[in-house]
Amino acid sequence: MEVVGQNYRENELVAAHEANPAWKVIGTENTHVLNQWLALRDKPYMAGQFLWTGYDYLGEADWPETTNNQGLFDRAGNWKQQGLQRESWWSEQPVVHIVRKSDNAGAGVWVADWTPSDFDTYDNAKIQVYSNCEEVELFLNGKSLGAVKKPANDAPREWDATFEKGTIKAIGRNKGKEVTSEEFKSAGAPAKIILTSTKAKIGNNWDEVSIITATVVDANGVLCPNADNLIKFSTSGPGFIQAVDNGNITSHEAYHATERRVHNGKAIAIVKAKESKGEITLRAASDVLGTAMIKVEVIENKL
C-alpha cells in the first residue's frame, strides 16, 4: 500500500519505511509515552500520530469507574498530566509545567498544584517539570532548588524537595534569558466561587453552548484542588442548563442535572439558549461558599 499505518507499533513503522523508502508511514493510534513521541520527533518521514485519546470518554472502564481516562484532557476540558507533557514536546512556544506526586515520597499520581491533601504527612515532594526550554530552574519560596538543562530525549526534569507551604515556581530560559514561567501557591480553606465561560455570546442553535466553569478558590484567589463542595447551578433569562460535569472518572452523579460536586476544585455547567436574543444569567451557589454570577449574551443567528 502507498500509505502504511499501525497502532502502537512505531518501531515497526520505522523499520518498514527504512526497508521501503517510498512508503508513506503514519501512526494510526498511539499512546502518550516518550518512546512513541521520539519515533515521531526523530524520524522526519513519520507523517504524524493519532493519540488515544484527546479527551477522556465514557465507557471502556472498570467499574466503579465510568470513564476511560487516557485523554490529554478530562471530560470537563481540564488539562491532564499527559496533555501538559505533550504540549512541552509539540509547542513551538516556550513551555514550562510543574507537576508533583500527589502523595508523600513519590506515591500517588501526578498533579499540577502545591496543595497536598494532608499537609502534616506530606514532606517529601517528587517534582517534575515538562519544558522545551534549554534550562529550567526551580524555586521554592524564593530559594533555588537548582537548574537543569534540557535532556536530549525530552524527558521531564526532576527534583526532590522537602515540602514547604508557599510558592513553587519554575523559570524557563533560552540562551540565558527567561522566556516563560509557572508557579503554584499552597491554597488555604475554600472561600468563594469564581465563574468563567468559554463563550460570552451564543446563538440559539442546537449545537451552540457556553461552558461555564465554577472554580473554588481560597480568600486569595488560589485554586483549592482538594475541594469537593456541592455547587448548585441555576439560570434566569433566555437560557437553560443542558448538563453538568466535573471530570471525575468515578463520579456517578447525573449529567442532566443542575448541581455537581467540584472535582480538583472545579465543575462545569453547559448552558444553551432557548430564545433568539437576550441575556442569560447563570448562578452558582454553595451553602459554604456563597453565590457567584456570570452573564452570557444570546445573539440572533446569522444565515
pTM of the model: 0.93
Torsion of CA 242, 244, 247, 251, to 10 degrees: -120
Ranges of each domain in the chain? 3-78, 91-185, 192-299
Q: Are 199 and 153 in contact (CB under 8 A)?
A: no
Q: Phi first, then psi: what are they for 291, rounded to 5°?
A: -125, 140
Best CA proximity match to 196, nearest among 79, 279, 282, 80 = 282
- Cα dihedral across residues 245, 266, 201, 280: positive or negative: positive
C-alpha closest to that of 281 among 193, 197, 190, 192: 197
User: pLDDT truncated to tens, each residue of the chain (303 aa)?
Assistant: 889 999 999 999 999 999 999 999 999 999 999 999 999 999 999 999 999 999 999 999 999 999 999 999 999 999 999 999 999 999 999 999 999 999 999 999 999 999 999 999 999 999 999 999 999 999 999 999 999 999 999 999 999 999 999 999 999 999 999 999 999 999 999 999 999 999 999 999 999 999 999 999 999 999 999 999 999 999 999 999 999 999 999 999 999 999 999 999 999 999 999 999 999 999 999 999 999 999 999 998 765
> Cβ distance 124 to 162 under 8 Å?
yes
- Looking at the domain that runs over 91-185, which CATH code has it been given? 2.60.40.10
CATH class of this structure's domain 192-299: mainly beta
Q: Report the pLDDT value the prediction gives residue 303, as an integer from 0 to 100.
A: 55
Of 258, 261, 206, 204, nearest in space to 230 by CA: 261
Helix (H) or strand (E) holding 281, with range, is strand 278-286
Two domains, one topology: 91-185 and 192-299: yes
